[in-house]
Chain A
Amino acid sequence: MADLARLRALLGDTDPRESVGDQLPMIPPIRRLLGSRVRRGALVAIEGEAARYSLSMVLLAGVSSAGGWCAVVGVPAFGCVAAAAYGVRPETLGLVPQPGAAWTDVLSALTTGMDAVLVHRPEAVPGGLARQLTAKARRSGCTVLTLGPAWEGSDLRISVVRRQWYGLAQGGGRLRRCRVTVVASHRPRVRVDLWLPAEDGGVREAAPVVSAA
């Protein structure tokens, strides 16, 4: 019976009118956060400073573990070991750490061939340019994840509102895992608690009730 209830919950979350092939592949806890309406080719803004790299890696991991190709543009500090632990496959990952002034050309070239691109611009991107770049990505089904100021026309914005590291004491222990609470702009009432990262470096869903730890 419990299985049946879970199956119902799963079906209730899915709109039968949308084909599954158009959905952005996500890992289950992120799907619970974002729902099933997010398509391939969406523009997703990752906001805030807290755990933004980890959050972007988890989103890339969903695409990558479904066999997709990912590129990371303008993020020289991208921690590849952590990304691999989250589930991003290094064989299908390309890094363009220094796109320089030609970043728009680089981005539009990559959106034609990748399934997801993570791009970081420290300054705000003009609205017209953002629309132009994302229209192309939308056509070819390439999801664009942005770090830094949210681009105009973002389909959704997600951010980490709370985070707490466990395992470190005053002069002892080591960083073991971090509990974060993630929210998305289009479903403000849904909050998901994650171990990001969990003890093995991966990602787990945390029990929603916060204990005193």
Chain B
Amino acid sequence: MTGAVRTLLLWCPDWPVVAADIVDGVPATGPVAVLHANRVVACSVAARADGIRRGLRKREAQSRCPGLRVVDHDPGRDARAFEPVLAAVEEVVAGVEVLRPGACALPVRGPARYFGGEEAAAERIVEQVAQSCAVESQVGIADGVFAAGLAARTGRIVPPGETPRFLAGLPVTALGRPALTDLLRRLGIRTLGGFAALPGGDVLARFGFDAALAHRLAAGLDHRPLAVRRPPPDLAVTETYDEPLERVDVAAFAARSLAERLHEGLAGYGLACTRLGIEAVTAHGQELHRVWRHDGLLTPTAIADRVRWQLDGWLRGAAGRPGTTAAAVSRPTSGIIRLRLVPDGVLAQVGLQPGLWGEAGDERERAHRAFSRVQGILGPEAVLTPVLGGGRSPADQVHLVPWGDERRPVRPADPPWPGRLPAPAPAVVLPVPLPATVLDATGAVVGVSARLAVTAAPARLVVADGPPREIVGWAGPWPVDERWWDPAQARRQVRFQVCLADGTALLLALSSGRWTVEASYE
């Protein structure tokens, strides 16, 4: 009915914990929690019984369960440990796609016919994984990958055509998009069924591209039907290496440039891929292939990460549990000499159009090479590019990011910034403010009272140890009391604009009795 592919999804619960067990030998039977950025991202069954939940802070988790073993989150480790599981699944069925470490999907039609029924196929796969890798797993079968993923949480097999009804009863949190979920809940929409009932066009217009994808998922329409067109064949990128890649860091470096090329190619056609095929050929002629799947749109960094994880898995060898047959199944016997990235599940992406002027093309390429060369000479942090954003001082409004990093302002430009200096902006913004002294006509230092009154009119300015210079015009004080809630970032000062007799205009600041020159209007 829906056209979504009947999909079997294999899910290993608490995969980061199991991966830590396999790779680092942290026993998953005890209370274990995997943390990222001081928050729990996964925990073992024993830990969950003690009240550990996702999103808890480290200290709170440890207070709830004193014997908790804490492991750092490592996506590379997760991917590496998952490799033997995939190899085991591939021994019995074909066409496996990795969704993320700990979950993989496959079209169930073939295996169901081969093993005599969907249930039999599911049992066979779970048994295979348990036998060869000693890993527990659950299977869900439904129409489409998204529904199959939810079915796998409860180990259900949703009959064909029943998927929309199955999804309709689930809460909106199942979408895994916290911002959208929160919004929907405030709109009074609590189930996927309710969300699916909204008109698709309105969802796209009001909530954007990602929400429109989520809306299709909620309606039981996997977003793969969106991929109506096949990518032109030249979108795949290949690189051959004279020296076989044997170390992960070297391979990761190679992966990065390849990922960028792939992304640029896709962006040039206004496309984005939801699945990524990674193929490698070793010096001994072994061919390795793996498909990674992603729910959203793959950015260059996301592509590079997946390639790195995959290469990590292949090169460092699948560290299977000792005593299982998976220990060295997919480990190549020599280095990689050819890498190929194949975009799959390609769909048109209007949000990814390259800029109209100069973004793509020869000049960009030339400039990029020049900046990269300078980065090679001085280090990546030496070449910066400004991103303009919000802020009160001229220095705050500019965020300098190393060339090649994502251009994103730290402070949004949109909200009003009361106390922001009006245009024109100073042409000289000193990276380190210069100490100065402002004197009045009698030679006493000018101060500002708590009620923002100047003690006397500024008459002369002494910058560092220089000679006194006459002030012919001044304005201020303009108070700035910023981020008082954060002692490390708090700033309380008053600003002045002064004009000197030689025509120079300066921006001065006075903070705790100390005058500084912040910027010059020249």
Measured CB to CB, the residues of A under 8 A from B are 50-54, 57, 67-69, 71, 76-85, 90-100, 102, 105-106, 109-110, 112-115, 163-165, 168-178, 197-201
On chain B, the residues within 8 Å of A115 by CB distance are 363
Are A201 and B355 touching (Cβ within 8 A)?
A: no
Interchain Cβ contacts under 8 Å between A and B, 5 examples: A95-B383, A97-B431, A114-B370, A165-B499, A197-B427
Are A69 and B363 touching (Cβ within 8 A)?
A: yes
A97 to B374, CA, bound (A): 12
Q: How far is the CB of A71 from chain B (nearest CB, A)?
A: 8
Are A96 and B407 touching (Cβ within 8 A)?
A: no
On chain B, the residues within 8 Å of A201 by CB distance are 423-425
Closest residue of chain B to A84, judged by CB? B388
A78 to B475, CA, bound (A): 24
- Asked if B27 is an interface residue, CB under 8 A from chain A, the answer is no
Given contacts A81-B394, A106-B374, A171-B454, contact A95 B367 (CB under 8 A): no
Among A80, A173, A200, residue most surrounded by chain B Cβ atoms (within 10 Å): A80
Are A57 and B427 touching (Cβ within 8 A)?
A: yes
- Asked if B302 is an interface residue, CB under 8 A from chain A, the answer is no
Q: How far is the CB of A118 from chain B (nearest CB, A)?
A: 12
Given contacts A50-B503, A54-B522, A163-B503, contact A79 B429 (CB under 8 A): yes
Instruction: List 9 additional contacts besides A68-B363, A168-B497; criterion CB under 8 Å.
Output: A50-B522, A69-B364, A82-B425, A91-B385, A91-B407, A98-B382, A113-B371, A165-B499, A178-B505
Are A77 and B429 touching (Cβ within 8 A)?
A: yes
Interface string of B386-400 (1 = CB under 8 A from A): 111000001001101
Given contacts A93-B385, A109-B370, A201-B424, contact A178 B521 (CB under 8 A): yes
Are B358 and A92 touching (Cβ within 8 A)?
A: yes
- Asked if B484 is an interface residue, CB under 8 A from chain A, the answer is no
- Asked if B483 is an interface residue, CB under 8 A from chain A, the answer is no
Are B388 and A81 touching (Cβ within 8 A)?
A: yes
On chain A, the residues within 8 Å of B473 by CB distance are 165, 168-170, 173
Interface string of B355-392 (1 = CB under 8 A from A): 10111000110111111011001100011111110000
Are B503 and A164 touching (Cβ within 8 A)?
A: yes
Are B371 and A105 touching (Cβ within 8 A)?
A: no
Measured CB to CB, the residues of B under 8 A from A are 355, 357-359, 363-364, 366-371, 373-374, 377-378, 382-388, 394, 397-398, 400, 403, 407, 422-431, 454, 457, 473-475, 497-499, 503-505, 519-522
A85 to B357, CA, bound (A): 18
Are A171 and B424 touching (Cβ within 8 A)?
A: no
Closest residue of chain B to A95, judged by CB? B384
A52 to B387, CA, bound (A): 23
Q: Which of the residues B363, B426, B474 comes within 8 Å of A171, measured between beta carbons? A: B474
Q: How far is the CB of A115 from chain B (nearest CB, A)?
A: 8
Among A50, A68, A178, residue most surrounded by chain B Cβ atoms (within 10 Å): A178
On chain B, the residues within 8 Å of A83 by CB distance are 427
On chain B, the residues within 8 Å of A50 by CB distance are 503-504, 522
Among B371, B497, B520, B522, residue most surrounded by chain A Cβ atoms (within 10 Å): B522
Given contacts A90-B387, A94-B403, A168-B505, contact A69 B367 (CB under 8 A): yes
Are B384 and A175 touching (Cβ within 8 A)?
A: no
Among B363, B368, B423, residue most surrounded by chain A Cβ atoms (within 10 Å): B423
Are A79 and B383 touching (Cβ within 8 A)?
A: no
Are A95 and B385 touching (Cβ within 8 A)?
A: yes
On chain A, the residues within 8 Å of B422 by CB distance are 174
A173 to B497, CA, bound (A): 9
On chain B, the residues within 8 Å of A198 by CB distance are 424
Closest residue of chain A to B429, judged by CB? A79
On chain A, the residues within 8 Å of B474 by CB distance are 168, 170-171
Closest residue of chain A to B365, judged by CB? A113
Given contacts A68-B363, A93-B386, A178-B521, contact A112 B370 (CB under 8 A): yes
Closest residue of chain B to A163, judged by CB? B503
A185 to B152, CA, bound (A): 78
Q: How far is the CB of B396 from chain A (nearest CB, A)?
A: 10
Q: How far is the CB of A207 from chain B (nearest CB, A)?
A: 19
Are B475 and A173 touching (Cβ within 8 A)?
A: yes
Are B378 and A99 touching (Cβ within 8 A)?
A: yes
Q: How far is the CB of A59 from chain B (nearest CB, A)?
A: 13
A200 to B373, CA, bound (A): 37
Q: How far is the CB of B516 from chain A (nearest CB, A)?
A: 14
Are B475 and A169 touching (Cβ within 8 A)?
A: yes
On chain A, the residues within 8 Å of B499 by CB distance are 165, 168, 175
Q: How far is the CB of B397 from chain A (nearest CB, A)?
A: 5
A196 to B316, CA, bound (A): 61
On chain B, the residues within 8 Å of A57 by CB distance are 427
On chain B, the residues within 8 Å of A171 by CB distance are 454, 457, 474-475
On chain A, the residues within 8 Å of B367 by CB distance are 69, 92, 94, 113-114
A173 to B496, CA, bound (A): 11
On chain B, the residues within 8 Å of A168 by CB distance are 473-475, 497-499, 505
Closest 9 CB pairs of A and B: A113-B370, A197-B424, A168-B473, A80-B386, A81-B425, A69-B367, A53-B427, A201-B423, A201-B424
On chain B, the residues within 8 Å of A170 by CB distance are 457, 473-474
Closest residue of chain A to B507, judged by CB? A175
Given contacts A76-B431, A80-B386, A113-B371, contact A100 B424 (CB under 8 A): no
Q: Which of the residues A71, A82, A112, A199 comes within 8 Å of B427, measured between beta carbons? A: A82
Q: How far is the CB of A47 from chain B (nearest CB, A)?
A: 14
Q: How far is the CB of A88 from chain B (nearest CB, A)?
A: 9
A15 to B242, CA, bound (A): 54
Q: How far is the CB of B370 from chain A (nearest CB, A)?
A: 3
Closest residue of chain B to A73, judged by CB? B374
Closest residue of chain A to B478, judged by CB? A174
Closest residue of chain A to B376, judged by CB? A109
A102 to B374, CA, bound (A): 10
Are B424 and A199 touching (Cβ within 8 A)?
A: yes
Are B388 and A112 touching (Cβ within 8 A)?
A: no
Are A200 and B426 touching (Cβ within 8 A)?
A: no
Q: How far is the CB of A210 from chain B (nearest CB, A)?
A: 14
